[in-house]
Amino acid sequence: MIDMKELKERILRDGKCFEGGVLKVDNFINHQMDPILMKSMAVEFVRRFAHKKINKVLTIEASGIAPAIMVGYLLEVPVVFAKKKVPVTMENMLATKVYSFTKDRTYDVCMSKDFLCPDDKVLFIDDFLANGNAAKGIIDLVKQAGAELVGMGFLIEKSFQEGGEWLRKEGIHVESLAIIESLDNCQIKLK
Ligand code: 5GP
């Protein structure tokens, strides 16, 4: 397994801790984006899921879109993002509810059935894995569509929250490029 040294160094250099176990990575992932690092991370996902058959990359707006499009570009497969606002024009909708712990609210997540079909083999990509609520919502949408979830890839997993453990117990192939063990006392502790 290639150690994502570049990502880890960047987290330590530019990441900022916030109350309640939130890490801000706004100058290379979540607001300003570093496309070179984003590409390296996508290459690593492609390597880690190389033995899997994937014909679609799925993510959730907004922050999952950048890494997902890089992965989809490398795999040469379509990228679909689940939407957090229900468009009035959407037909054939799949919908679920997701609780956001950073925003402390529940929102509806939806996508068109036209872009998630029973024969799809889906790789989900997102920026963060925390309690796994976004991931659970995606699992629900994939189930509703009758598609197959091949794996889930996260740029950053916070292992002091329960999402990673839950997903792995469910037998899902989870890959995280950097794992944060603790943000206690505003200190970033990486695995
Ligand atoms: P979960 O659904 O796993 O609890 O949280 C994952 C989602 O919440 C991600 O899509 C991400 O947008 C957001 N998130 C969770 N924890 C953090 C964090 O520490 N920093 C940032 N920037 N976003 C987070």
Q: Specify the residue with its C-alpha closest to ligand 1, atom 22.
A: 24
CA atoms within 13 A on the CB side of 185: 2
CA separation, residue 154 to residues 4, 69, 114, 119, 176 (Å): 12, 14, 25, 24, 5
Q: Report cis status (omega within 30 of 0) of the bond before 62.
A: yes
pLDDT of residue 91: 81
pLDDT of residue 156: 98
pLDDT in tens, 65-116: 999 999 999 999 999 999 998 888 878 899 999 998 888 899 999 999 999 9
Q: How close is the Cα of 15 to the center of ligand 1, in Å?
A: 14
Pairing of strands 93-100, 105-112: antiparallel
Q: How close is the Cα of 23 to the center of ligand 1, in Å?
A: 9
Q: How close is the Cα of 66 to the center of ligand 1, in Å?
A: 15
Q: Show me where the domains of the chain are located.
A: 5-190
Are 131 and 101 in contact, with CB atoms under 8 Å apart? yes
Are 74 and 92 in contact, with CB atoms under 8 Å apart? no
pLDDT string in tens for the chain (191-residue length): 456 999 999 999 999 999 889 999 999 999 999 999 999 999 999 999 999 999 999 999 999 999 999 999 999 999 999 999 888 887 889 999 999 888 889 999 999 999 999 999 999 999 999 999 999 999 999 999 999 999 999 999 999 999 999 999 999 999 999 999 999 998 999 99
pLDDT of residue 1: 47
Q: Specify the residue with its C-alpha closest to ligand 1, atom 14.
A: 128
Q: Does 1.10.10.10 match the CATH number of domain 5-190? A: no
Pocket test for ligand 1, best of 127, 154, 167 (most atoms within 8 A of CB): 127
* Ligand 1 neighbours by CB, cut-off 6 Å: 22-25, 30, 63, 100-102, 126-135, 158, 163
pLDDT of residue 162: 97
Closest CA to 79 of 120, 119, 140: 120
Predicted structure pTM score: 0.97
3-state secondary structure of 8: helix
Q: Please give the Cα distance from 44 to 103 (Å, whole number).
A: 30
3-state secondary structure of 153: strand
- 51: which strand partners? none
